[in-house]
Structure formats: structure tokens, C-alpha cells
Structure 1
Amino acid sequence: MKKVVQVLCVVLIGVAVMIGFRWYRYVASSDTPYDEVGITLNGYMPGPLRSWGCHKLRERFPGALPPYGCAAPDGRSWA
């Protein structure tokens, strides 16, 4: 039983690292702010990380419309 729990923990940590890396790659070095996977992952991040991600995207793409999750209520300006 102990071995099963250990393997499960390693798998969960591995998945979390892979998802976190994919999200960070979207925020820090994506060619476009409209990457569907990146937008979805950003939407699942906790509030402070999502806010940081949106701020980073805004710095990188100042003239672009904000992606879903980073828009103000009007949908055309950054939150």
C-alpha cells in the first residue's frame, strides 16, 4: 500500500510540473496571446498566478486584445 501511495504522489507531482511548465511557457514566451491551451491553463491557475500571467502577457503584447480570462468586463481592455 505504501508503494502505491508513493507512485501516485510521484505521478501527481510530475503532472503538476508538466502543466506548470506549459503554462509558464505560454505566459513567458508564446508567439501569440491566443494559444488555446495556454488560455485554458491560465484560467485554471489560482488568482495571484493568473493575475501575474495576464500582466506578463499585457507587457509582451501591448497592442493586442486580451485573451479570455485577462479581459476587463468590456472585453476589449486588459483587466
Structure 2
Amino acid sequence: MPVSCLDSLPQNHVARRNFKSSAPHRWLSCFRRGFVIIKAALLNHLPLPQGAFFPEPWPTLTPQVHVSLVTLSTA
């Protein structure tokens, strides 16, 4: 639903709370965008575009993993 629909919701509605904390999402996935560009080039008889890979940066905070000691006894 468009963002403008949030205005009609009560202040304590769960959709309003979740929207504020959510990160912006892509309109198209990277794969789909590349596929559409290649398809458009082929349909318009244009040369295929040269792509480039620009990865997103790694998260700055890594989660802490706690591993407990597990021992196996042979009985």
C-alpha cells in the first residue's frame, strides 16, 4: 500500500510503527533490473550493455555468537 494510506491509520497502529523502523526497499531486485535492461537492448536491436558489480557494504556490527561447550560421552 502507498505511504499516503498510513495517514488514515490511528497513531498506535502496528503498520505505522513498523513503517518508521523499516529500511527502504528496492523497487526492483538487482537481477530483475539487469534482466530488463538486457531484454530492452535486445528488443531495440542495441548492443548489450556492459555490467558492473557494486556490492553493498557489509554491516558494521556483527552479531555475537555464544557457543557452549558440548561433550559427548561414549557409554
TM-score with structure 2 setting the length: 0.20
Higher fraction of helix: 1
TM-score normalised to the size of structure 1?
0.19
Larger Rg: 2
